[in-house]
Amino acid sequence: MYRVARRGRELDHSRINAADAALTRSGNRFDVAGGGVLYFGSNEAGCFAETLARFRPTAAMRAIVAEEDPGFVVCGGVPQDWRARRLMIEAATIDPLPFVDVEDSDTHEFLTSAMAPQLDALGVSVLDVATLRGPNRAVTRAVSTWIYAATDSNGAPKYSGVRYISRLGNHECWAVFDGTELQVRKREGLELSNSALQKVAGSFGLRIF
């Protein structure tokens, strides 16, 4: 698994408080109130897609530029400092528990039943791919919270996290819960020569400095 992370904070978990977790736009997609989550991709391109998306010019910005100069091509810029402060790490889980595949239709059916009260309160009739890749993070965090809290007959956690597909392309991603042991195998700087970085930047219309 791969992860773009700030130098010195490569394995710092994403955390969110209960108030923010209930909001639709704050935090990350599978954050858990009271717990920690680390986000990974199965390849470098997926990591870059997830982290560079915030630099894409908005539709409003593109419309303004096109109106002022129809021949001008909008190109967002990713500052050199962004690269300098980050590393690409490669890591592996050590004896993990199962991951819940939230892309699977059987999972949708199971969670719709298991989480019926929570989903109904959030206005969700049934879980599906559109809901789990949609913009309402209160829903996706409710799902990850249920998975995080699930225990076996002895009260031990049942799952190590969530497998999902990025909404920014067909990239396999992982939300790994705290308590899952990880081993970092490699750390590399984000060089301009990185082919995955340049490919994703090109698809997003970005220029990397």
Q: What is the pLDDT along the chain (209 residues), one digit of tens a residue?
A: 999 999 999 999 999 999 999 999 999 999 999 999 999 999 999 999 999 999 988 877 777 766 666 655 556 889 999 999 999 999 999 999 999 999 999 999 999 999 999 999 999 999 999 999 999 999 999 999 999 999 999 999 999 999 999 999 999 999 999 999 999 999 999 999 999 999 999 999 999 99
Q: How many domains does the chain have?
A: 1
- Domain membership flag for residue 132: no
- Domain membership flag for residue 130: no
The residue range of the domain holding 78 is 2-99+159-208
Distance CA 196, CA 26 (A): 28
- Domain membership flag for residue 202: yes
- Domain membership flag for residue 142: no
Residue 76: what pLDDT? 80
- Domain membership flag for residue 163: yes
- Domain membership flag for residue 183: yes
- Domain membership flag for residue 137: no
Residue 107: what pLDDT? 98
Q: Specify burial of residue 97 (Cβ count, 10 A radius: 0-12, 13-18, 19+).
A: middle
Distance CA 159, CA 73 (A): 46
User: Beta partners for 154?
Assistant: none
How are beta strands 172-177 and 161-165 bridged, if at all?
A: antiparallel
Q: Measure CA of the first residue to CA of the last residue in the chain; give whole Å.
A: 26
pTM of the model: 0.93
Distance CA 65, CA 117 (A): 47
- Domain membership flag for residue 170: yes
Q: Specify burial of residue 183 (Cβ count, 10 A radius: 0-12, 13-18, 19+).
A: exposed
Distance CA 88, CA 108 (A): 32
Q: What is the DSSP letter of 54?
A: G
